[in-house]
């Protein structure tokens, strides 16, 4: 396969508004499951943050519902819904992050922020939503790796006093992060979605095929098995 001449982000910026919507909801679909995991691990926190009426006072059902509404709208614009109302719900339900927040909250927060950006895209208020979601997905992988496999190396770098040596160490770990299988998988998935959008007209059938692309990966952006 010929490598694209444009970077992933440049390709995303060249998408039409409808293609941007399709890219965004497809990438987000592998981030949203982290909200349900956040619900399971942080029952007390989510009870305080979630909206009245969500099943078990959890955020997961809300984001899944909104994601489904966007998929339906993408497949058939007649399935319009009140973007502003749903945006307000998501913004209220988005988890807060503090200095002592456990890592499990971050992927859920990223998913909610991405979903808010998607809803603003639908309202024609955030043209860069697709790029933002792409970066959130890749950044989430990087953050998870720095908190797990690369935690010791990352902590060691912070103890380096020489600025040039510290910069070189950060550059080295950055190269390792980019070549990690999970990061390579995420970038390859985004490229696959871009290629699909560049070669297919968006309709109900292609929307189903994009949803199947998500299922076929078998994992979330952080490598957790999809149900």
Average pLDDT estimate for 6-24: 94
Residue with tokens 């080295």: 172
Please state which of the ranges 43-52, 77-86, 115-124 shows the lowest mean pLDDT.
Answer: 43-52
| Domains of the chain, start order | 17-137+200-217 (1.20.1590.10)
Q: How many Å apart are CA 221 and CA 34, to the nearest integer? A: 9
Give the DSSP H/E element, type plus range, for residue 154. helix 151-157
pTM greater than 0.75: yes
In this structure, are residues 121 and 21 in contact, taking their beta carbons and an 8 Å threshold?
Answer: yes
Q: How many beta carbons lie within 10 A of that of residue 224, not counting itself? A: 14
pLDDT band at 50 (very low <50, low <70, confident <90, very high): very low
d(CA 107, CA 186) in angstroms, rounded, equals: 15
Any residues with CB less than 8 A from the CB of 143 and at least 6 apart, and which?
Answer: 103, 106
Q: What is the mean pLDDT of the segment spanning 70-96?
A: 94
Cα 47 to Cα 53, 65, 105, 200, 209: the distances in Å are 11, 18, 14, 42, 35
For residue 120, give the H/E element and its range. Answer: helix 105-122
Convert the pLDDT of each residue in 124-149 to its tens digit: 999 999 999 999 999 999 999 999 99
Cβ-based neighbours of 105, under 8 Å, separated by 6 or more: 38, 42, 45, 95, 97
For 144-165, what is the mean pLDDT? Answer: 91
């Amino acid at each position: 396969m010929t490598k694209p001449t444009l970077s992933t982000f440049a390709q995303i910026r060249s998408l039409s508004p409808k293609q941007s919507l399709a890219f965004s909801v497809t990438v987000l679909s592998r981030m949203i499951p982290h909200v349900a995991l956040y619900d399971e691990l942080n029952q007390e926190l989510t009870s305080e943050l979630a909206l009245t009426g969500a099943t078990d006072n959890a955020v997961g059902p809300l984001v899944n519902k909104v994601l489904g509404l966007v998929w339906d709208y993408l497949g058939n614009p007649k399935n319009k819904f009140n973007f502003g109302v749903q945006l307000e719900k998501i913004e209220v339900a988005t988890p807060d992050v503090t200095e002592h927040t456990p890592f499990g909250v971050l992927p859920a927060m990223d998913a909610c922020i991405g979903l808010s950006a998607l809803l603003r895209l639908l309202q024609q208020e955030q043209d860069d939503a697709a790029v933002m979601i792409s970066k959130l997905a890749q950044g989430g992988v990087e953050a998870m790796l720095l908190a797990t496999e690369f935690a010791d190396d990352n902590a060691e770098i912070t103890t380096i006093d020489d600025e040039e040596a510290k910069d070189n160490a950060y550059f080295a770990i950055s190269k390792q992060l980019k070549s990690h299988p999970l990061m390579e998988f995420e970038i390859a998935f985004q490229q696959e979605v871009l290629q699909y959008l560049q070669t297919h007209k968006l309709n109900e059938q292609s929307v189903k095929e994009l949803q199947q692309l998500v299922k076929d990966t078998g994992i979330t952006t952080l490598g957790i098995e999809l149900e």
